Amino acid sequence: MFKLFKRFRAVDWLVVLAIVGFVVAQVYCDVTMPDYSAKIFDRIRESATTREILGTGGIMLAYAAGSMLCTVIVGYLATWLSVKFSQTLRRALFSKVHSFSFGEINKFSTASLITRSTNDVQQVQMAFMMLFRMAIAAPVTAIWAISKISASSVELTLASGAWIVFLIAFLSLAIGFALPKFKSIQKLTDKLNGVTRENLTGLRVVKAYNADEYEQAKFEKVNKDVTKTNLFVNRIMGFMFPIMFFIMNGISLTVYWLGAGLINDGALDYPTMMAFSMLVMQILMAFMMLIMLFVIVPRAAVAAKRVNEVLDTKLTIVDSEKPQRLITQGEIEFKNVGFKYPDADGYVLKDISFKVNQGETVAIIGSTGSGKSTLINLVPRFYDATEGEVLVDGVDIKLVKQEDLRSKLGYVPQKGVLFSGTVQENIAFGDRSVLGKDIADAATTAMADEFIRNMPGQYGAEIAQRGRNVSGGQRQRLSIARAVAGKPEIYIFDDSFSALDYKTDKAVRENLKEYAQGATSLIVAQRIGTIMDADKIIVLEQGRIAGQGTHRELLETCDVYREIALSQLTAAELGIGNSVG
């Protein structure tokens, strides 16, 4: 957990110094008050005047007020510092996750990343607040008070020390049992979040297949594991406070019992015993604070480790130290490209070589699992090629800043992804400077303008998170409009017309051809009707190019393509003889 301190700013360290100063002042006031309590007894025994007694009592009250003021200030500063630091931590986590490639994202589950950014950061915030308020005050109080009581009575000091040793031994044993369970709790929280998220995301499928009982049983199993682990930890921690009160009462009884004997023997006076008792209580209160830390810090340490795992993850895709400037015209070239996922044995893509000239439309088709989406994901550097080069206008994309590269691309995923906000905000997502007319033109090009104008508020209509209040086809058209609005030089469509009917599909492609003249397009598609007019078609089979050429050329030369085409359209529709295939 202390590794996180390296993320403190200069102002944070200044606040820490201020906290230390006020804590020392508070402890000084606390350990000085028993001296004045003893002086009051001495004044009374010496038959001092009421004014003298009140004067001594007034000084004691002043120290009490000083202690209270310092405590309030320390609490305020500790709260401010921990809350601000958690804000910084969440920002760092969010920024780090955004810098991840798909390779790093796949190392952590979505549920785990959510838990680390919320629950884990919250645990760290609580621990830091307690640390700054108590971790400094507790040892300073204990050491200061022990040094004062050791000068009062050796017998009472040894008796109190025996109780304190017993307390430390008990705390060590309890923490030793609880710490492994704290690690389990965070992992189980990840699992609980994962099961809940999966169930809620797929709720329609769950209901459609009457799988409610199955999902509830799966949730209940994880829920029971979380409950069982939390109960174990809380039962251990539940023993701490009763033991602590037992020790406090035991020390008080010991001090009064031994103290009474020492007073009778004339080895100790009553004011000294009272001051000693007050100091011992302060020592015990210091250990009470440490107990609270022991309850929170172990779990926070596990949470901090999980946060650091994300923050310390080494990025596999980074910008070049001397990035080259990209003047995009739209030419793309794959040179002997091979790719395999991290820790995978086999290659997903192998020996991929083809060129896309400026303004051309190149389609990629193949069976499921042939590597189509993986191939186009190399262009925006969601992954980096394991072998070979991916060039844009003759420049290796690894030598170009990721921001510059992606600013030239219009990317449309297979599953239309929308964000909470208005229709206009979603279309202008890639370029906030896009004006109303450009947004309307982009929507018209994507055949989205008609259904948008039927929505309440039209372009100001609210889109729910993940676009739940629009259909799959509408999500795809809005995603296409978002890509079109930025007027990129290169379009990447990852099976982005699959949810459109044939008529809309054809109309959108015709609009794109007219609207985006001169732009280069890479299209992944399953339907022959979507790609048959492409300038070039790349056919993938088990990660390798099985053929490339125009629709007509591939029907004659590529068995894989002809088989796909005939599975969707008749020979007559394809314009080929019955003897083919």
| pLDDT value at residue 581 | 41
CA atoms within 13 A on the CB side of 70: 21
> What are the angstrom distances between the C-alpha of 64 and each of 30, 116, 235, 503?
7, 42, 36, 83
Taking the C-alpha atoms of residue 470 and residue 478, their distance in angstroms, rounded to an integer, is 10
Instruction: Return the pLDDT at 337.
Output: 92
Statement: 410-487 belongs to CATH 1.10.3720.10: no
Q: Which two tokens stand for residue 526?
A: 């399953």
Cα–Cα dist 136/18, whole Å: 12
Contact yes or no for 358/314 (Cβ under 8 A): no
Instruction: Give me 125's structure tokens.
Output: 């915030």
Distance between CA atoms of 379 and 334, rounded to whole angstroms?
9
**520 contacts: CB under 8 Å, gap ≥ 6:** 330, 331, 332, 356, 357, 358, 359, 360, 361, 362, 489, 490, 491
Handedness of CA 568, 572, 578, 580 (dihedral sign): negative
Phi-psi region of 48 (alpha: psi -120 to 50; beta: other; left: phi over 0): beta
In the block, tokens 């952590």 appear at 108
- Comparing C-alpha atoms, which of 410, 383, 529, 402 is closest to residue 479? 410
Cα separation, 349 vs 335, whole angstroms:
12
Residue 492 and residue 260: Cα distance in Å, rounded? 89
- Could you tell me the end-to-end alpha-carbon distance of the chain, in angstroms, rounded to an integer? 66
Partners of 242 in the β-ladder: none
Residue 152: what pLDDT? 64
In this prediction, residue 18 carries a pLDDT of 93
HSE of 511, CA atoms in CB hemisphere, 13 A:
19
Q: What is the pLDDT at residue 364? A: 92
Model pLDDT, residue 331: 87
Q: What is the pTM assigned to this prediction? A: 0.71
- Architecture of domain 331-408+495-551 in CATH? 3-Layer(aba) Sandwich (3.40)
526 forms beta bridges with none
Q: Residue 52 burial (CB < 10 Å; 0-12/13-18/19+)? A: middle
The amino acid at 59: I
Domains 331-408+495-551 and 410-487 share a fold: yes
The helix-helix angle for 502-515 and 472-485 (nearest 10°) equals 0
* 490 DSSP β-pair partners: 409, 520
Backbone angles phi, psi at 490, to 5 degrees: -130, 130
pLDDT of residue 42: 67
Neighbours of 525 (CB within 10 A): 23
pLDDT computed for residue 7 by the predictor: 85
pLDDT in tens, 5-27: 888 888 989 999 999 899 889 88
**Cα-based angle 245, 248, 251 (whole degrees, multiple of 5):** 150
CATH number for 91-311: choose from 3.30.1330.30, 3.40.630.30, 1.20.1560.10, 3.40.50.300: 1.20.1560.10
Domains of the chain: which residue ranges?
91-311, 331-408+495-551, 410-487
Residues of the chain with pLDDT under 70: 38, 41-48, 149-153, 183, 186, 291, 295, 328, 577-581
Nearest one of 309, 299, 406, 297 to 92, comparing CA atoms:
309
Question: Going by C-beta distance under 8 Å and a sequence separation of 6 or more, which residues neighbour residue 138?
Answer: 286, 287, 289, 290, 293
Q: What is the pLDDT of residue 579?
A: 44
